[in-house]
Amino acid sequence: MKIAEIELGERPLFLAPMENVTDASFRYICKEFGADMMYTEFISSDGLIRDAKKSLAKLETFEYERPIGVQIYGHLPDAMVEAAKIAELANPSLIDINFGCPVNKIAQRGAGSGMMRYPDKMIEITKRVVDAVKLPVTVKTRLGWDENSKIIIELAERLQDVGIAALTIHGRTRSQLYKGEADWSLIAEVKNNPRMHIPIIGNGDITSAIAAKEAFDKYGVDGIMIGRATYGRPWLFKEIKHYLATGEEMSELTVSEKTELARRHLIRSVEVKGERVGVLEMRRHLSHYFKALPHFKDIKLQLVTENSHIELLKILDHIEQTYSQEKN
């Protein structure tokens, strides 16, 4: 599979951009486990054009992460164009436009999946961004606003016609948020539409290697994007690749392997974001790394309340010593 001139190989796996999750430290770990394409956390167009410190910081990427995309969102065409130009200066592999985020504070403003109610404006923004930058532009979106407005088949054609290089589709409407099952049949309809020639990447409910293989085999997508299932389980990419290659499920990581991984992830997080923010943003990951351990409640409380990374490293040592003979 290729996005413009970016070669991604057969059946590539994408790490979904997620706010306060897919920072440089998490991307570092996911790349190690086989993520073929990654993105920054999504970035507000308004924040970029105002030189907001947090938004600008998200543009920083590293050479080992390539290929990597910068994802932007917003509802004002001029701001989106200006933000895309600023993002291009950071030299990512591509620019991705987020028309899929369902969070109220974004969607109700008309940004993210809120744009599903205004497809003409979505097309205008996309065309203007494509015309404004030299990098490939891709889009991530949903099936529609609600059950009665699943517009994705026609919308995909229109997005392709204004020049996007690939399309990622989350198999839910905005109204569903993350509830119910993702509808991959509509993703397949887009992929099998004879008018479509750009890569189609499917997203939604890929929580196992078996589910990933089914998505490729049954629905024919070019690539798969994985989001929430990677919380505390970045090795999911390796599990999927192992299963696709061998037809066998990979052995579960041992507690010792997980604690060693958690240590490296924590140290990297602190290096990238400093002690306070680095520890704070690791809490989500650490609580998921070990959630299957017996009697985890007390340990979890320590992991999500401790503010010192040195003390967290000691807690990880304790977890390894206590559970080293067990697999979770």
The catalytic residues are 101
Distance, CA of 118 to CA of 257 (rounded, Å): 48
Q: List the alpha helices (DSSP H) in the chain.
A: 24-32, 45-49, 53-57, 77-89, 104-107, 119-132, 152-161, 184-192, 209-219, 236-246, 255-289, 296-305, 309-323
Give residue 214's identity as a one-letter amino acid code.
Answer: E
Nearest to 303, CA basis, from 292, 316, 321, 322 = 316
Tokens at residue 105, please? 């504070």
Who's near 158: CB < 8 A, 6+ residues apart? 119, 123
- C-alpha closest to that of 135 among 320, 35, 3: 3
241 vs 35: CA distance, rounded Å: 10
Residue 281, both tokens = 């943003």
CA atoms within 13 A on the CB side of 230: 27
Q: How long is the chain?
A: 328
Instruction: For helices 309-323 and 296-305, give the axis angle rounded to 10 degrees.
Output: 160
Contact in structure between 40 and 16 (CB atoms under 8 Å): no
Give the span between the Cα atoms of 28 and 223, in whole angstroms. Answer: 20
| Separation of alpha carbons 188 and 16, rounded Å | 19
Alpha-carbon distance 226 to 185, whole Å?
18
